[in-house]
Amino acid sequence: MASKVIQDPVHGTIGVDGVFLNVLDRPEMQRLRSVRQLGLGDQVFPGANHTRFEHCLGTYHLAGMMAEAIGLDDEDSAAVRMAGLLHDVCHPPFSHALEGAMEDATGMGHMGMARALIFGDVPFYRECDSDIYGGLDTIAETMEAAGISPEAVCGFISSPESTGTEVLDRFWNRHEYFPSKDYAHQIIHGPVDADQMDYLMRDSLHTGVCHGRIDCDRLIKTMAVVNDRIALSRGGITAAEGLMVSRSLMYTSVYFHETTRIAQRMITKAAEESEVDLSRIHLMGDAELQSLLIDAGGRPSLEARRVRARRLDKKALAIYSQEMDEATAETLMAYTGRAGTRKLEAEIADAAGVDGMDVCCEVTSKANLQGKMNVGKTDVSIYDESGRVRSLARYSPIARALQSRDPYGWAVLVACPPERVEAVSRASRRVLGVSP
């Protein structure tokens, strides 16, 4: 059986063999070498040039460690590790910025596209590479030949079924049993999952932001399956608190950084307004899509070239969460989501008398505007010596505080080219009813 030992800056040595090595060398996975993990995060953090490829490799590695820690059998362990390797296989260029554009162009969301790619329902290599990959089996066929169920892998890549607040409340307070193998899903999608642990550590390393450092080994060593879910022993509480804090601070400092979000909105608008065929966006890397946008001409080309040259839009208006009153929050509710953002951009552009491409907006989530508790990722299950299970928030005031912490920092951002700032700033305040 062919095998490799890969040196990784986060986890040290990672062993890959058999069918996992075969999948790693496929065109679908090799494309991820050209998709940066943080999209345009390098506009702010110059070291953030790491890729989805290495993140998937790290997630595979941690998924294997978690599977071993909770005692998964060989069949489930193999499927979970494969899901870790493939969980971002269809990720579009520039991180999450273009997921909406991919859905518009293909009619499939992230999970649907992943399944289609695994089963070969969409092209999985460029036509120009048919001399290299012609006749290659699909990922599903490759897995089946190795005794791994592609249906199980796709199931693990999808979000788990029993993560709703009501379900979790019943689990903690009544000890109900869920015969759903939810613990296996939680290795990929859960409060303490392989995906999250890897991206926090990896993004922290490459951005130089220290908030993402977590005690990964302690978390995994304190894991066990209790009533069909992954729980940590009381000895893992401090490490779990560290993970929650790291996640919250990384979102504020890195993932929701104002400049990054503005740059991402610029490239997204360029892609959406261009005549570039995005139906094969799942086959593209960052540089390829950027080149296509530049070659497309017109305003989309200008925006793509401005991003490449780091001539980014400047803030015309920023309303920060701690400064926002109830009336402004209510007004912003109408502008959440993709359609809402486009509506706000159009209204501001019209009020300012500028081109629609001159205005870029980012609006926080509806839940954040409503001041709802951010429960999901802080709902780590903790079990004590008697086997009793409670939420981490029952033990930790830190976890409780994080449930009400706003990870964005801002409620709305409006940006435009430097020469339009004054006009767009005035128009933004009129549209949103904000006093100067």
Q: Which own/partner contact pairs does 143-152 have at CB distance under 8 Å and 24+ positions apart?
A: 143/19, 143/23, 143/82, 145/19, 146/18, 146/19, 146/22, 146/78, 147/75, 147/78, 148/19, 148/75, 148/78, 148/79, 148/82, 149/75, 149/79, 150/118, 150/119, 152/76, 152/79
Amino acid 322: pLDDT: 85
| SS3 label, residue 316 | strand
Residue 360 lies in a domain: yes
- 206 and 343 fall within a common domain: no
- What pLDDT sits at residue 252? 93
Predicted confidence at residue 359, as pLDDT, reads 98
Do the beta carbons of residue 14 and residue 8 sit within 8 Å?
Answer: yes
**Virtual torsion, Cα 112, 115, 117, 122, nearest 10 deg:** -60
> What pLDDT score does 427 carry?
98
- Report DSSP letters for 153-198, one per residue: HHHHHSPPS--SHHHHHHHHHH-----S-HHHHHHHSSTT-HHHHH
User: pTM of the prediction?
Assistant: 0.92
Angstrom distance (rounded) from CA 143 to CA 261: 38
| 222 shares its domain with 331 | no
Sequence-distant contacts of 268-273: CB under 8 A, at least 24 apart: 268/94, 268/97, 268/98, 268/100, 268/101, 269/300, 269/303, 269/357, 269/360, 270/299, 270/300, 270/301, 270/303, 270/304, 270/307, 271/98, 271/101, 271/300, 272/101, 272/104, 273/299, 273/300, 273/357
Q: How far is 272 from 84, CA to CA, in rounded Å? A: 30
d(CA 36, CA 59): 16
303 within a domain of the structure (yes/no): no
Whether residue 156 contacts residue 35, with contact meaning beta carbons closer than 8 Å, is answered with no
Token readout for 205 is: 């390393």
Domain range for 65: 3-256+376-403
**Can you tell me the distance from the alpha carbon of 181 to that of 179, in angstroms, rounded to the nearest whole number?**
6
Measure the CA–CA gap between 326 and 306, rounded to whole angstroms. 36
Question: Considering the domain boundaries, does residue 261 fall inside one?
Answer: no
Q: How close are the terminal C-alpha atoms of the chain, in Å? A: 68
Residue 301, sorted as left (phi over 0), alpha (psi -120 to 50) or beta, turns out to be: alpha
Query: Quick check: is 300 in a domain?
Result: no
Shared-domain flag, residues 214 and 323: no
Q: Do both 21 and 121 map to the same domain?
A: yes
Whether residue 121 is found in the same domain as residue 66 = yes
pLDDT at 374: 64
**Do 20 and 70 have their domain in common?**
yes
Predicted local confidence at residue 42, as pLDDT: 96
Q: Is residue 301 part of a domain?
A: no
CATH code for the domain in which residue 171 is found: 1.10.3210.10
Number of domains, the chain = 2
Note the pLDDT of residue 180.
57
Does 317 fall in a domain?
Answer: yes
Q: Kindly report the number of other CB atoms within 10 A of residue 145's CB atom.
A: 11
In a 3-state reduction of DSSP, which class is residue 372? Answer: coil
In angstroms, what is the C-alpha Rg of the chain?
23
Closest CA to 416 of 351, 348, 320: 348
Residues 248 and 349 in one domain: no
Residue 173's pLDDT is: 44
- Beta-sheet strand order (sheet of 389-391): 223-226, 229-233, 381-383, 389-391
**Does one domain contain both 398 and 425?**
no
Residue 152: what pLDDT?
95
Longest dimension (CA), the chain: 69
Name 414's bridge partners. 317, 361
pLDDT of residue 323: 86
User: For residue 403, what pLDDT is reported?
Assistant: 85
pLDDT along the chain (436 residues), means of 10: 93 97 97 97 97 98 98 96 97 91 92 94 94 95 97 86 45 43 90 96 96 92 93 96 94 95 97 95 96 97 98 97 90 94 98 98 89 67 91 91 88 97 98 89
* 397 & 248 share domain: yes
- The verdict on residue 140 lying in a domain is yes
**Rounded CA separation 32/282 (Å):** 10
In this structure, the answer to whether residues 64 and 97 fall within a common structural domain is yes
CA angle 168, 73, 188 (to 5 degrees): 45
215 and 321 in a single domain? The answer is no
Residues 121 and 34 in one domain: yes
Indicate whether 291 belongs to any domain: no
pLDDT value, residue 382: 95
Q: What is the pLDDT of residue 174?
A: 41
